[in-house]
Amino acid sequence: MDESRFRKEVADWMAAHLSGRFACLKHRGGPGDEEAWPALRKEWEQELAGGGWVGLGWPQEHGGRELPLSLQMVFHEEYVRAGGPGRIGHIGETLLAPTLIALGTPELQRRFLPGIREGREYWAQGYSEPGAGSDLAAITTRCWQDEDGNWRLQGQKVWTSLAHESDWIFVVARSTPGSVGREGLSFLLVPLRQPGIEIHPIRQMTGEAEFNSVFFDGAVTAADCIVGKPGEGWKVAMALLGFERGVSTLGQQMHFSHELQLLVDVARANGAARDPALRQRIAAAWIGLQGLRDNGLRMLEEDGGATAVRAEALIYKYAWSNWHRELGQLAMDVIGVAGDVRAADDAGSDALRRLQQVFFFSRADTIYAGTNEIQLNIIAERGLGMPRG
Protein backbone atom coordinates (compact mmCIF):
# COMPACT_ATOMS: atom_id res chain seq x y z
CA MET A 1 0.00 0.00 0.00
CA ASP A 2 1.22 3.48 -0.83
CA GLU A 3 2.41 5.25 2.34
CA SER A 4 0.98 8.67 1.47
CA ARG A 5 -2.40 7.18 0.62
CA PHE A 6 -2.43 5.21 3.88
CA ARG A 7 -1.48 8.35 5.83
CA LYS A 8 -4.46 10.17 4.31
CA GLU A 9 -6.71 7.22 5.12
CA VAL A 10 -5.69 7.33 8.79
CA ALA A 11 -5.98 11.13 9.00
CA ASP A 12 -9.41 11.14 7.35
CA TRP A 13 -10.72 8.38 9.62
CA MET A 14 -9.46 10.14 12.73
CA ALA A 15 -11.02 13.44 11.66
CA ALA A 16 -14.35 11.74 11.04
CA HIS A 17 -14.42 9.61 14.20
CA LEU A 18 -12.56 11.64 16.85
CA SER A 19 -15.45 14.07 16.85
CA GLY A 20 -18.86 14.49 18.39
CA ARG A 21 -18.96 12.80 21.79
CA PHE A 22 -15.34 11.66 21.33
CA ALA A 23 -14.04 15.19 20.68
CA CYS A 24 -13.36 15.81 24.39
CA LEU A 25 -10.80 12.98 24.32
CA LYS A 26 -8.34 14.81 22.05
CA HIS A 27 -4.85 14.71 23.60
CA ARG A 28 -6.28 13.34 26.86
CA GLY A 29 -5.65 10.16 28.80
CA GLY A 30 -1.87 10.03 28.46
CA PRO A 31 0.63 9.50 31.32
CA GLY A 32 -0.40 11.56 34.32
CA ASP A 33 -3.88 12.03 32.84
CA GLU A 34 -5.21 8.48 32.71
CA GLU A 35 -8.24 9.19 34.87
CA ALA A 36 -9.74 11.22 32.03
CA TRP A 37 -13.07 9.70 30.89
CA PRO A 38 -12.11 6.00 31.19
CA ALA A 39 -15.55 4.70 30.21
CA LEU A 40 -15.61 6.85 27.09
CA ARG A 41 -12.06 5.84 26.23
CA LYS A 42 -13.13 2.19 26.37
CA GLU A 43 -15.85 3.05 23.87
CA TRP A 44 -13.15 4.72 21.78
CA GLU A 45 -11.16 1.46 21.87
CA GLN A 46 -14.14 -0.29 20.34
CA GLU A 47 -14.49 2.48 17.79
CA LEU A 48 -10.86 1.93 16.79
CA ALA A 49 -11.43 -1.81 16.62
CA GLY A 50 -14.44 -1.31 14.37
CA GLY A 51 -12.27 0.72 12.01
CA GLY A 52 -9.64 -2.03 11.85
CA TRP A 53 -6.99 -0.03 13.76
CA VAL A 54 -6.21 -2.57 16.49
CA GLY A 55 -3.60 -5.26 15.86
CA LEU A 56 -2.14 -3.60 12.78
CA GLY A 57 1.04 -5.66 12.93
CA TRP A 58 -0.52 -8.93 14.09
CA PRO A 59 -0.54 -11.85 11.65
CA GLN A 60 -3.75 -12.12 9.64
CA GLU A 61 -4.38 -15.59 11.06
CA HIS A 62 -4.86 -13.92 14.46
CA GLY A 63 -7.18 -11.22 13.15
CA GLY A 64 -4.52 -8.60 12.46
CA ARG A 65 -3.75 -6.68 9.31
CA GLU A 66 -0.08 -7.73 9.14
CA LEU A 67 0.96 -4.27 7.99
CA PRO A 68 4.65 -3.53 7.46
CA LEU A 69 6.50 -1.51 10.04
CA SER A 70 6.50 1.61 7.88
CA LEU A 71 2.70 1.74 7.81
CA GLN A 72 2.38 0.98 11.51
CA MET A 73 4.61 3.97 12.13
CA VAL A 74 2.40 6.12 9.91
CA PHE A 75 -0.63 5.13 11.96
CA HIS A 76 1.03 6.08 15.25
CA GLU A 77 2.15 9.41 13.82
CA GLU A 78 -1.26 10.33 12.46
CA TYR A 79 -3.04 9.07 15.57
CA VAL A 80 -1.11 11.44 17.81
CA ARG A 81 -1.21 14.28 15.28
CA ALA A 82 -5.01 14.05 15.31
CA GLY A 83 -5.09 14.12 19.12
CA GLY A 84 -5.84 10.43 19.64
CA PRO A 85 -6.35 9.76 23.38
CA GLY A 86 -4.22 7.53 25.58
CA ARG A 87 -4.99 3.89 24.91
CA ILE A 88 -6.55 1.88 27.72
CA GLY A 89 -6.03 -1.23 25.60
CA HIS A 90 -2.33 -0.74 24.90
CA ILE A 91 -1.08 -3.26 27.50
CA GLY A 92 -3.17 -6.00 25.96
CA GLU A 93 -2.52 -5.03 22.35
CA THR A 94 1.19 -4.21 22.42
CA LEU A 95 2.49 -6.38 25.28
CA LEU A 96 0.37 -9.44 25.97
CA ALA A 97 -0.92 -10.11 22.46
CA PRO A 98 2.52 -10.34 20.78
CA THR A 99 3.66 -12.57 23.65
CA LEU A 100 0.69 -14.91 23.17
CA ILE A 101 1.26 -14.95 19.41
CA ALA A 102 4.92 -15.88 19.94
CA LEU A 103 4.72 -18.20 22.95
CA GLY A 104 1.08 -18.97 23.75
CA THR A 105 -0.81 -22.14 22.90
CA PRO A 106 -3.42 -22.05 20.12
CA GLU A 107 -6.07 -22.39 22.82
CA LEU A 108 -4.82 -19.29 24.66
CA GLN A 109 -4.60 -17.37 21.41
CA ARG A 110 -8.20 -18.23 20.50
CA ARG A 111 -9.39 -17.41 24.01
CA PHE A 112 -7.74 -14.02 24.55
CA LEU A 113 -6.74 -12.38 21.26
CA PRO A 114 -10.28 -11.61 20.02
CA GLY A 115 -11.20 -9.77 23.25
CA ILE A 116 -8.09 -7.61 22.93
CA ARG A 117 -8.56 -6.97 19.23
CA GLU A 118 -12.23 -6.03 19.65
CA GLY A 119 -11.69 -3.75 22.66
CA ARG A 120 -13.78 -5.95 24.97
CA GLU A 121 -11.14 -7.10 27.49
CA TYR A 122 -8.49 -4.96 29.16
CA TRP A 123 -5.25 -6.06 30.78
CA ALA A 124 -2.92 -4.98 33.57
CA GLN A 125 0.71 -5.99 34.14
CA GLY A 126 1.59 -7.81 37.38
CA TYR A 127 5.38 -7.54 37.61
CA SER A 128 6.54 -5.06 40.30
CA GLU A 129 6.35 -5.91 43.99
CA PRO A 130 6.93 -4.03 47.27
CA GLY A 131 10.47 -4.46 48.50
CA ALA A 132 11.76 -5.70 45.14
CA GLY A 133 12.41 -2.28 43.59
CA SER A 134 13.55 -2.72 40.00
CA ASP A 135 14.69 -6.30 40.62
CA LEU A 136 12.07 -8.37 38.84
CA ALA A 137 13.84 -11.57 39.88
CA ALA A 138 13.15 -10.80 43.56
CA ILE A 139 9.50 -11.86 43.23
CA THR A 140 7.84 -13.29 46.33
CA THR A 141 4.23 -13.66 45.10
CA ARG A 142 3.56 -17.40 45.19
CA CYS A 143 1.43 -19.63 43.02
CA TRP A 144 0.56 -23.31 43.29
CA GLN A 145 -1.80 -25.82 41.75
CA ASP A 146 -4.76 -27.34 43.57
CA GLU A 147 -5.77 -30.96 43.11
CA ASP A 148 -8.04 -29.94 40.23
CA GLY A 149 -5.06 -28.33 38.47
CA ASN A 150 -6.26 -24.74 38.89
CA TRP A 151 -3.69 -22.17 39.99
CA ARG A 152 -3.92 -20.15 43.19
CA LEU A 153 -1.95 -17.00 44.06
CA GLN A 154 -0.83 -15.33 47.26
CA GLY A 155 1.06 -12.04 47.40
CA GLN A 156 1.04 -8.43 46.22
CA LYS A 157 1.86 -6.48 43.08
CA VAL A 158 2.34 -2.71 43.09
CA TRP A 159 2.42 0.23 40.64
CA THR A 160 -0.09 -1.74 38.56
CA SER A 161 -1.27 0.68 35.87
CA LEU A 162 -5.02 0.78 35.24
CA ALA A 163 -5.72 -2.39 37.24
CA HIS A 164 -8.96 -0.77 38.41
CA GLU A 165 -10.08 -0.46 34.78
CA SER A 166 -8.88 -3.91 33.70
CA ASP A 167 -10.55 -7.30 33.43
CA TRP A 168 -7.41 -9.48 33.53
CA ILE A 169 -3.85 -9.27 34.77
CA PHE A 170 -0.79 -11.26 33.70
CA VAL A 171 1.24 -12.18 36.76
CA VAL A 172 4.78 -13.45 37.23
CA ALA A 173 4.75 -15.56 40.39
CA ARG A 174 7.01 -18.09 42.11
CA SER A 175 5.73 -21.60 41.42
CA THR A 176 8.67 -23.62 42.77
CA PRO A 177 8.94 -23.49 46.58
CA GLY A 178 12.41 -22.49 47.74
CA SER A 179 13.49 -21.16 44.34
CA VAL A 180 15.30 -17.85 44.10
CA GLY A 181 16.08 -15.32 41.39
CA ARG A 182 15.04 -16.14 37.87
CA GLU A 183 14.36 -19.81 38.48
CA GLY A 184 11.03 -21.31 39.48
CA LEU A 185 8.76 -18.56 38.11
CA SER A 186 5.57 -18.94 36.10
CA PHE A 187 3.58 -16.54 33.91
CA LEU A 188 -0.15 -16.69 34.70
CA LEU A 189 -3.24 -15.03 33.21
CA VAL A 190 -5.59 -14.13 36.05
CA PRO A 191 -9.15 -12.67 36.06
CA LEU A 192 -9.27 -9.59 38.27
CA ARG A 193 -12.96 -9.56 39.21
CA GLN A 194 -13.08 -12.39 41.74
CA PRO A 195 -12.97 -13.05 45.50
CA GLY A 196 -9.38 -13.16 46.69
CA ILE A 197 -8.27 -10.05 44.79
CA GLU A 198 -8.32 -6.51 46.18
CA ILE A 199 -7.29 -3.45 44.15
CA HIS A 200 -6.18 -0.38 46.11
CA PRO A 201 -5.49 2.90 44.26
CA ILE A 202 -2.24 4.80 44.80
CA ARG A 203 -2.71 8.57 44.71
CA GLN A 204 0.15 10.36 42.91
CA MET A 205 1.35 13.92 43.20
CA THR A 206 -0.34 14.61 39.86
CA GLY A 207 -3.61 14.12 41.76
CA GLU A 208 -4.41 11.05 39.66
CA ALA A 209 -4.63 7.43 40.82
CA GLU A 210 -3.87 5.39 37.72
CA PHE A 211 -1.51 3.11 39.67
CA ASN A 212 -2.69 0.46 42.12
CA SER A 213 -1.62 -2.15 44.60
CA VAL A 214 -3.16 -5.54 43.80
CA PHE A 215 -3.45 -8.08 46.62
CA PHE A 216 -3.89 -11.80 45.95
CA ASP A 217 -5.28 -13.91 48.76
CA GLY A 218 -6.00 -17.33 47.32
CA ALA A 219 -7.07 -15.90 43.96
CA VAL A 220 -7.65 -18.58 41.33
CA THR A 221 -7.16 -19.01 37.61
CA ALA A 222 -7.67 -21.99 35.31
CA ALA A 223 -5.04 -24.68 34.91
CA ASP A 224 -4.40 -23.75 31.27
CA CYS A 225 -4.08 -19.99 31.92
CA ILE A 226 -0.29 -20.18 31.88
CA VAL A 227 2.03 -18.99 29.12
CA GLY A 228 4.92 -21.38 28.67
CA LYS A 229 5.55 -24.21 31.08
CA PRO A 230 5.72 -23.94 34.88
CA GLY A 231 9.14 -22.51 35.71
CA GLU A 232 9.49 -20.68 32.37
CA GLY A 233 8.05 -17.42 33.68
CA TRP A 234 11.32 -15.50 33.41
CA LYS A 235 11.70 -16.36 29.73
CA VAL A 236 8.14 -15.27 28.97
CA ALA A 237 8.47 -12.09 31.06
CA MET A 238 11.64 -11.08 29.22
CA ALA A 239 10.03 -11.75 25.84
CA LEU A 240 7.17 -9.46 26.79
CA LEU A 241 9.58 -6.69 27.79
CA GLY A 242 11.17 -7.04 24.37
CA PHE A 243 7.82 -6.28 22.77
CA GLU A 244 7.51 -3.26 25.09
CA ARG A 245 10.26 -1.65 23.02
CA GLY A 246 8.38 -2.29 19.79
CA VAL A 247 6.67 -0.04 17.30
CA SER A 248 4.56 1.65 19.98
CA THR A 249 7.74 3.50 21.02
CA LEU A 250 7.26 5.65 17.91
CA GLY A 251 3.80 6.56 19.17
CA GLN A 252 5.30 7.50 22.52
CA GLN A 253 7.73 9.82 20.76
CA MET A 254 4.89 11.49 18.89
CA HIS A 255 3.26 12.22 22.25
CA PHE A 256 6.56 13.72 23.35
CA SER A 257 6.59 15.83 20.20
CA HIS A 258 3.13 17.15 21.05
CA GLU A 259 4.27 18.04 24.57
CA LEU A 260 7.32 19.85 23.18
CA GLN A 261 5.09 21.83 20.83
CA LEU A 262 2.85 22.83 23.74
CA LEU A 263 5.95 24.07 25.54
CA VAL A 264 7.07 26.09 22.51
CA ASP A 265 3.60 27.62 22.16
CA VAL A 266 3.60 28.69 25.81
CA ALA A 267 7.14 30.09 25.50
CA ARG A 268 6.07 32.21 22.55
CA ALA A 269 2.90 33.39 24.27
CA ASN A 270 4.46 34.42 27.59
CA GLY A 271 7.74 35.78 26.21
CA ALA A 272 9.98 33.03 27.59
CA ALA A 273 11.13 32.33 24.02
CA ARG A 274 13.09 35.59 24.15
CA ASP A 275 15.35 34.19 26.86
CA PRO A 276 18.52 32.91 25.11
CA ALA A 277 19.14 30.21 27.74
CA LEU A 278 15.61 28.84 27.45
CA ARG A 279 15.79 28.95 23.64
CA GLN A 280 18.98 26.91 23.78
CA ARG A 281 17.36 24.33 26.07
CA ILE A 282 14.31 24.10 23.82
CA ALA A 283 16.59 23.52 20.81
CA ALA A 284 18.49 20.84 22.74
CA ALA A 285 15.18 19.15 23.60
CA TRP A 286 14.22 19.08 19.91
CA ILE A 287 17.59 17.61 18.95
CA GLY A 288 17.30 15.00 21.70
CA LEU A 289 13.87 13.95 20.46
CA GLN A 290 15.24 13.44 16.94
CA GLY A 291 17.93 11.24 18.46
CA LEU A 292 15.28 9.16 20.23
CA ARG A 293 13.43 8.73 16.97
CA ASP A 294 16.54 7.66 15.07
CA ASN A 295 17.39 5.11 17.75
CA GLY A 296 13.80 3.87 17.71
CA LEU A 297 14.10 3.26 13.98
CA ARG A 298 17.37 1.37 14.56
CA MET A 299 15.62 -0.78 17.15
CA LEU A 300 12.86 -1.70 14.76
CA GLU A 301 14.72 -2.16 11.48
CA GLU A 302 15.35 -5.84 12.21
CA ASP A 303 13.27 -8.49 13.95
CA GLY A 304 15.49 -10.11 16.56
CA GLY A 305 12.94 -12.76 17.48
CA ALA A 306 10.55 -13.08 20.36
CA THR A 307 13.14 -13.38 23.10
CA ALA A 308 15.95 -11.23 21.71
CA VAL A 309 16.54 -7.64 22.76
CA ARG A 310 18.90 -5.76 20.45
CA ALA A 311 21.64 -3.57 21.85
CA GLU A 312 19.86 -0.47 20.53
CA ALA A 313 16.85 -1.32 22.70
CA LEU A 314 18.95 -1.56 25.85
CA ILE A 315 19.60 2.18 25.90
CA TYR A 316 16.09 3.26 24.99
CA LYS A 317 14.44 3.41 28.42
CA TYR A 318 17.39 5.26 29.96
CA ALA A 319 17.46 7.73 27.06
CA TRP A 320 13.76 8.60 26.87
CA SER A 321 13.16 8.75 30.61
CA ASN A 322 15.99 11.23 31.19
CA TRP A 323 14.96 13.27 28.15
CA HIS A 324 11.35 13.42 29.35
CA ARG A 325 12.28 14.33 32.92
CA GLU A 326 14.36 17.23 31.57
CA LEU A 327 11.44 18.29 29.38
CA GLY A 328 9.23 18.45 32.47
CA GLN A 329 11.73 20.68 34.24
CA LEU A 330 12.09 22.86 31.16
CA ALA A 331 8.30 23.19 30.98
CA MET A 332 8.13 24.57 34.51
CA ASP A 333 10.97 27.00 33.79
CA VAL A 334 9.15 28.21 30.69
CA ILE A 335 5.84 28.60 32.55
CA GLY A 336 7.52 30.54 35.37
CA VAL A 337 5.58 31.61 38.45
CA ALA A 338 2.25 30.69 36.81
CA GLY A 339 3.27 27.07 37.29
CA ASP A 340 3.27 27.43 41.07
CA VAL A 341 -0.55 27.27 41.13
CA ARG A 342 -2.33 24.17 39.90
CA ALA A 343 -4.01 24.93 36.59
CA ALA A 344 -7.76 24.53 36.25
CA ASP A 345 -9.07 21.66 34.15
CA ASP A 346 -10.64 23.81 31.46
CA ALA A 347 -9.98 24.70 27.85
CA GLY A 348 -8.40 28.03 28.72
CA SER A 349 -5.78 26.39 30.93
CA ASP A 350 -5.28 23.23 28.89
CA ALA A 351 -1.64 23.79 27.85
CA LEU A 352 -0.61 24.87 31.34
CA ARG A 353 -2.43 21.94 32.97
CA ARG A 354 -0.87 19.46 30.56
CA LEU A 355 2.66 20.80 31.06
CA GLN A 356 2.24 20.66 34.83
CA GLN A 357 1.20 17.02 34.44
CA VAL A 358 4.31 16.39 32.34
CA PHE A 359 6.46 17.86 35.09
CA PHE A 360 4.90 15.88 37.94
CA PHE A 361 4.62 12.56 36.12
CA SER A 362 8.07 12.73 34.54
CA ARG A 363 9.64 12.82 38.02
CA ALA A 364 8.93 9.08 38.10
CA ASP A 365 10.15 8.28 34.58
CA THR A 366 13.69 7.45 35.73
CA ILE A 367 12.37 5.23 38.52
CA TYR A 368 9.57 3.01 37.21
CA ALA A 369 10.18 0.17 34.72
CA GLY A 370 13.77 -0.02 35.96
CA THR A 371 15.60 2.82 37.67
CA ASN A 372 18.44 4.69 35.98
CA GLU A 373 20.92 2.65 37.99
CA ILE A 374 19.35 -0.64 36.87
CA GLN A 375 19.27 0.53 33.26
CA LEU A 376 22.97 1.43 33.35
CA ASN A 377 23.76 -2.01 34.76
CA ILE A 378 21.78 -3.62 31.93
CA ILE A 379 23.62 -1.55 29.32
CA ALA A 380 27.00 -2.42 30.87
CA GLU A 381 26.38 -6.14 31.35
CA ARG A 382 24.23 -7.09 28.37
CA GLY A 383 25.27 -4.46 25.85
CA LEU A 384 28.96 -4.02 26.61
CA GLY A 385 29.73 -7.44 28.12
CA MET A 386 31.15 -5.98 31.32
CA PRO A 387 31.34 -8.13 34.47
CA ARG A 388 28.63 -7.78 37.10
CA GLY A 389 29.50 -5.33 39.84
Is the residue at 95 inside a domain?
A: no
Is the residue at 216 inside a domain?
A: yes
Residue 30's domain is classified under what CATH number? 1.10.540.10
Residue 226's domain is classified under what CATH number? 2.40.110.10
The reply to whether 156 and 269 lie within a common domain is no
The reply to whether 340 and 361 lie within a common domain is yes
The reply to whether 135 and 166 lie within a common domain is yes
Is the residue at 110 inside a domain?
A: no
Is the residue at 118 inside a domain?
A: no
What pLDDT score does 307 carry?
A: 43
The reply to whether 54 and 135 lie within a common domain is no
The reply to whether 257 and 371 lie within a common domain is yes
Local confidence pLDDT in tens for the 389 residues of the chain: 789 999 999 999 999 999 999 999 998 888 778 888 999 999 999 999 999 999 999 999 999 999 988 898 899 889 989 999 999 999 999 999 999 999 999 999 999 999 999 999 999 999 999 987 667 788 999 999 999 999 999 999 998 989 999 999 999 999 999 998 899 999 999 999 999 999 999 987 777 788 899 999 999 999 999 999 999 999 999 888 877 766 667 778 888 988 999 999 999 999 999 999 999 999 999 999 999 988 887 877 655 444 445 677 788 889 999 999 999 999 999 999 887 777 766 555 678 888 998 998 898 889 887 788 888 888 888 888 898 86
The reply to whether 228 and 261 lie within a common domain is no
Is the residue at 143 inside a domain?
A: yes
The reply to whether 356 and 263 lie within a common domain is yes
Q: Give me the domain span that covers residue 37.
A: 3-88
| Active-site hit among 78, 129, 165, 244 | 244
What pLDDT score does 247 carry?
A: 66
The reply to whether 370 and 275 lie within a common domain is yes
Comparing C-alpha atoms, which of 261, 278, 257 is closest to residue 334?
A: 278
What pLDDT score does 321 carry?
A: 93
Q: How many domains does the chain fold into?
A: 3
The predicted model scores a pTM of 0.86
Residue 263's domain is classified under what CATH number? 1.20.140.10
What pLDDT score does 306 carry?
A: 42
244 is catalytic: yes
